[in-house]
Amino acid sequence: MTVMLKSVEKTAKVRNIGIMAHIDAGKTTVTERILYYTGKIHRVGEVHDGQATMDYLEEEQKRGITITSAATYCQWNKHEINLIDTPGHVDFTVEVERALRVLDGAVAVFCAVAGVEAQSETVWRQATRYNVPRICFINKMDRVGANFDKAVGSIRNKLGAKVAPIQIPIGAEKDFEGFVDLITGEEVRFADDAGMEVNRQPISEQYQEAYELGRENLLEALAEVDDDLCDKFLNGDEIDTETMIRVLRQGTVSGQLNPVLCGTALKNKGVSQVLDAICDFLPSPLDIKIEGVNPKNTDEVIERQPSGDEPFSGIAFKTIADKNGDLTFIRIYTGQLRRGDQIYNVNRSKAERIGRIYQMHASRREALDDGASAGDIVAVVGLKNSYTGDTLCLKDSQIVYGEMKFPETVISQAIETLSALDGDKLAKALDTLSREDPTFKTQVDPETDEIVISGMGELHLEVIINRLLSEFKIQLNVGKPRVAYRQTLGKEIEVEGRHVKQSGGHGQFGVVNVIFEPITGEDTEEYEFVDKIVGGAVPREYIKSVNKGIFESMEHGANLRFPFVNVKATLIDGKYHEVDSSDMAFQMAGRLAFREAVNRGKAIILEPRMKLEVVCPADNLGEVVGDLNSRRAEVREIETDGDIRIVRGIVPLAEMFNYTTSLRSATQGRGTASMEPSEYAPVPEAVAEKVRAERLEFLNSRK
């Protein structure tokens, strides 16, 4: 079977994009309108009714939020758009991370009232990390308090974005009617409720001054991108529409500009213009630099072209577990992919065979019998050992693309089955969920024999547990949520680890001298091992054994069973025996050295702290701030927005369980809060003593 290769002209009209934003900014509503306008669906489903096409999971429909990213495709103005709708809640940020890793462009959606919110900053940083070009859509222009200029200013000031508004809204709130097009120099007013029909007319005197100022600002931004346009601008020459679109696209693709549009997706206004902007300004696969490294020599950079004639390569970026075979989503960067092809997973050194290949429309699969090629995003059946972030290629033409990094879990819960017969069923279900979600962790606590699940927040674990109950039909006892504490060393210390057992016959001999010290700074590593052995005091074959012993002891977490992080271990000396030394002896020596360091170096408990944003009425500000202070919060900023106050700060996660309920009670239901992980920081000593006591009591009770 031959793959129908895309021509260069056809690939140039492909757009692989994502929709990203803070929760409730309107991402899924925007996506639903895109599918409707492009003819992919014929009836609009609303998020609040649980009928949105892309929110197909039962949990999404019940809660009215997006939990997992969903892929679809559509066509607009002879362009093929592959689209991924991503969650806005921070607990599911992994879905945004892995989508942005493989997408070529994104639409960032902002609320016209709130502007940049907490999760807006997170997803924007994620997109910046992967150099994803973005356009911005100021949504909800029909809401009370909508302010386009303020929202644009928050994008500029809080995100450091080089915003380039290409529209000026006509009216706001209930009077929002359309926009002034700064590129064509026209007033555009929506003529029907569907938002598809518009009336274009010359700019009226009322908006002439705003148009001239807006166009001047836009041309200034474009002049920084293109020298020829800059010369025309400085000379006062007329700049035509085609030139402006070309340079705006150039600036967007290079990351120098972020075009800004406005509308209200719920009222069907402005989304067709977003579709035009996606086609006009965001990159095609041909615009993306494809670069990896040689797995056998990571210093060797490999560049490839986004062509079907190149050797196959791609990234597996999402897995959906299925009883009939896992569904693995792949972004194809180069080459072709056919059913029956044998490919190679470089990260796991495993060969894989491709089964059926699908193009996805939310949960619906549409078979691609002719295969797929460079620039496509597809889902395949048949991969048994490939997971999120793995590079797939041909074994005789290997390349590795950059791996994805996911945040550490911050909360855990113990679970147990009500029936012993469900034990195997639970193990399989947890394995399934772990394959799907890299930020969901599960382990059996060796000290208590508890099954402990860990995730990114209360909502994350709540959704997991609900899936176990409803989807997998397992009855559970569920413990209270527990904060995922960590530990580090309080000071630098040099210790000896001695594992010597010689009582006749073959003995055990391993002695190491190690300097342990805490690692500080923003770019800290969780663990760093340095080998400074000279003269063969510890043979080369046992250096890794020492490292392994220390690392395993750190993960064990000493008597509190909280893992250690931000520790540097420097092996400086040791002793060995020609007969009695072994891998196990030096592993034990490493463990004993770390145990001694903990005993003498005073372990410090670290707790996860969260960035917090609370929106509340001005009348309730005092009560809200007082409550936050009682929760050990550091209030860093209070912003005034009419009769609304926005409180921002840092707060320990341990103090925030059930906070939303308390906030609603204090504000008569008008307050909202959002959090995202910020850092691990030392627990105050008075609190640390309480944490130690409770932890030891818990561990003793489980023995």
Q: What is the largest CA-CA distance in the chain?
A: 102
Retrieve residue 108's tokens: 């960032």
- Return the pLDDT at 48: 47
CB 272, CB 179: distance < 8 Å: no
Return phi, psi of residue 405, to 5°: -115, 130
Burial of 192 (0-12, 13-18, 19+ CB in 10 A): exposed
Q: How far apart are CA 60 and CA 66, in angstroms?
A: 6
Q: Are 574 and 506 in contact (CB under 8 A)?
A: no
What phi-psi label fits residue 362: left (phi over 0), alpha (psi between -120 and 50 degrees) or beta? Answer: left
Residue-level pLDDT at 522: 60
**Against a cut of 0.95, is the pTM above it?**
no
| CA dist list (Å): 639 to 634, 647, 651 | 15, 6, 18
What confidence tens digit (pLDDT) does each residue in 621-658 have?
999 999 999 999 999 999 988 888 999 999 999 999 88
pLDDT digits (tens, 9 = 90+) for 380-390: 998 989 989 99
**Mean of the pLDDT values across residues 54-82?**
80
- In the chain, what are the helix, strand and coil shares in percent, each to the nearest 5? 35, 30, 35
User: What DSSP string describes 34-76?
Assistant: HHHHTTS-SSPPPGGGT--TT--SHHHHHHTS--S-EEEEEEE
- DSSP structural state of residue 492: -
Backbone angles phi, psi at 14, to 5 degrees: -95, 135
Measure the CA–CA gap between 496 and 538, rounded to whole angstroms: 13
d(CA 481, CA 476): 15
pLDDT at residue 231 in the model: 92
With H, G, I as helix, E, B as strand and everything else as coil, classify residue 349: coil
Q: What is the pLDDT of residues 390-425, one digit of tens each?
A: 999 999 999 999 888 887 888 899 999 988 888 899
Q: Map residue 127 onto helix, strand or coil.
A: helix
Residue whose C-alpha is closest to residue 366's, from 50, 80, 71, 18: 71
Q: 196: pLDDT confidence band, cut at 50, 70 and 90?
A: confident
For 299, the token pair is 């210093």
Which of the four pLDDT bands, split at 50, 70 and 90, describes residue 524?
low
Q: Position of tokens 């809401």?
A: 143
The type of residue at 194 is: A
Q: Alpha carbon 691 to chain centroid distance?
A: 30
Residue 624's nearest CA partner among 681, 666, 585, 655 is 666
Cα 304 from Cα 302, distance rounded (Å): 7
Q: CA-CA distance, 168 to 261, in Å (whole number)?
A: 8
pLDDT exceeds 80 at position 176: yes
Q: Which of 102-111, 260-269, 516-525 has the lowest mean pLDDT?
A: 516-525
Is 229 in a helix, a strand, or coil? Answer: helix
Mean pLDDT computed over every residue of the chain: 89
* pLDDT-derived band at 86, boundaries 50, 70, 90: confident
The Cα 236–Cα 454 span in angstroms is 61
Instruction: Name the residue among 160, 138, 155, 156 with its Cα closest to residue 147.
Output: 138
Q: Which residues, other chains included, contact 242 with Cβ-Cβ below 8 Å and sequence gap of 6+?
A: none
